[in-house]
Amino acid sequence: GTGMGMTAPVSITAFPAEDGSLQQKVKVSLRIPSKFQANPPCPSDESIKIEERRGMTIYSTQFGGYAKEVDYVDYAAKLKSALGSEAAYHKDFYFCNGYDPPMKPYGRRNEVWFVKE
């Protein structure tokens, strides 16, 4: 019953298949605004869980536009290529992040994050 407004980023945990495409299982995460973090409201939907995300070091790339799955897959491949074989990061998942509301037509920000091991 508590409205928290839009938060950014909206973060989708992507699980890549062997060919680089994304598996059908996804996890969408929304940041709880600072004023609610000490005592977040309890979700009324059982499929919604509150979890704390630990601090992490990431490798990231940024791009603009209205991001689709193919864009995240493409930029994840570019980031993987840029990192080469020397960088140690989790290969079984990565984060697809969007920072803007749907009605913002220009200057959109999207990111792909690989989590450093």
Contact 57, 90 (CB under 8 A): no
Name the strand (E) or helix (H) holding 34: helix 34-37
Tell me the pLDDT tens digit for each residue of 104-117: 999 999 999 999 99
pLDDT at 57: 97
Residue 37 lies in a domain: no
**What does the alpha-carbon distance between residue 116 and residue 93 come to, in Å, rounded to a whole number?**
11
Q: Are 13 and 99 in contact (CB under 8 A)?
A: no
Give the chain's largest Cα–Cα span: 48
* pLDDT score for 3: 78
| Any domain includes 3 | no
Does 76 fall in a domain? Answer: yes
Write out pLDDT tens, residues 8-40. 999 999 998 888 778 778 889 988 888 888 988
Any domain includes 38: no
Asked whether residue 95 is domain-assigned, the answer is yes
Total domains in the fold of the chain: 1
- Judging by DSSP bridges, how do beta strands 27-30 and 58-63 pair with one another? unpaired
Residue 90 lies in a domain: yes
Residue 98 lies in a domain: yes
Residue 60 has pLDDT above 80, yes or no: yes
Q: Give the range of the structural domain holding residue 105, as residue numbers without chain letter.
A: 10-32+54-115
Residue 1 falls within a domain, yes or no? Answer: no
Question: What is the per-residue pLDDT across 62-101, written as a single tens digit (0 to 9) for each?
Answer: 999 999 999 999 999 999 999 999 899 999 999 999 999 9
In this prediction, residue 115 carries a pLDDT of: 97
Backbone angles phi, psi at 115, to 5 degrees: -90, 125
The CATH number assigned to the domain holding 87 equals: 3.20.80.10
